Structure 1
């Protein structure tokens, strides 16, 4: 079986990517999370590393931190990924991106440089994003909003649960329902793949 590394932010996108991979009987050997030295928090969501570590423990999947700088992000990612390829006997790396072509091109280029296949289990059309969000909620995952772009969403949405009410409300906003352009970020607390709930 091909062993896979999954780029992990701690949010709903990477969680649903994991969900799809597991459902397809893929072997996810490790989660990889980038941590810029400038902040000491995760690159994607500025999340506390201990929170991400708690998720990995609850999922029962090894977590590998990629320490980088903003200026050398890609090079640092590639160096660590090459080591992980050997360590975990990886054949591929998966990403949770859904329709932004620039993100996919970056990931495919990175994977190719490391001698790995790039997988995008959530890849779909922009018009399908509301259905994607609904599927996340229907799958039984529990997540909360940890960050919003206040130019497009209310600041008081921080702390909201991503539930059916959230799906309805965001469907009425002029934003991507999945927040693919950074309109909002989430942290997953529990769900079918979790052995225990994460406390924030």
Structure 2
């Protein structure tokens, strides 16, 4: 498909702030963008209490451990859904003042019209880069694994074919085939699952984690992680 807005190749030569969840898509986007541009930091939105990340439910110490292993500073703030956009824009403005001229995200299926990230970057005067935009989902995960990244499942939606026993599993080629056989998108783009990346080519060392007891919350199940 034609790259209508050039989001996939837009990063060339730019200094960028990367929207970071700690999961596979944001890490792969950061890796690919860093090959052709320069990262100045990671932007992470936390829940109101500041105890978990808004996207993947990771505690601050895991997020900061990932950032330290990658070698980038973290731009972070607590936010409710009501003030999420306002605070996200404030973080973008801070990153711009530190030299960023672009926001990079790990979205694969963002629409060309009505794109929220394009809306907020336009307000701040930043460009938008999405290195994974419109990539085939299977190919994106295969590239991630082939590059040597290690990631585990930390959140599952039990109403979408995932199971509690999927929590803690490492994404491998064999596991991707299993998920697809169960009718599950290999990237979890339907909200089936979220991941946390523990190691890979942009990490100076593996993140040492301890898996805690599984938590059930309605149709979701979570695997809390702690640093060892």
Q: TM-score, structure 1 length as denominator? A: 0.93
Contact kept? 1:130, 1:171, Cα under 8 Å: no
Q: How does 1:178-197 map to 2 (within 5 A)?
A: 178-197=187-206
TM-aligned CA deviation for residue 76 of structure 1:
1.0
Cα deviation per residue 1:119-150 (whole Å; 9 max; x = unaligned)? 1110015xx11111111111100010001111
Q: Between Structure 1 and Structure 2, how many residues are aligned? A: 196
Unpaired runs of at least 5, structure 2: 1-12, 210-228
Contact kept? 1:29, 1:62, Cα under 8 Å: yes
Q: How does 1:46-125 map to 2 (within 5 A)?
A: 46-86=57-97, 88-101=98-111, 105-125=115-135
Does 1:130 find its partner at 2:142? no
Partner SS state of residue 159, structure 2: coil
Q: TM-score, structure 2 length as denominator? A: 0.82
The more displaced of 161-170 and 136-145 is: 161-170
User: Is the alpha carbon distance of 1:184 and 1:103 closer, same or farther for their aligned partners in structure 2, counting shifts above 3 Å?
Assistant: farther
Structure in which a larger fraction of residues adopt helix: 1
User: Is the alpha carbon distance of 1:142 and 1:103 closer, same or farther for their aligned partners in structure 2, counting shifts above 3 Å?
Assistant: farther
Which whole-Å CA distance do the structure 2 matches of 1:36 and 1:103 have between them? 28
Q: Over alpha carbons, which structure has the higher Rg? A: 2
The aligned residue for residue 46 of structure 2 is: 35
Give RMSD over aligned pairs: 1.6
Contact kept? 1:38, 1:69, Cα under 8 Å: no
Which whole-Å CA distance do the structure 2 matches of 1:3 and 1:18 have between them? 12
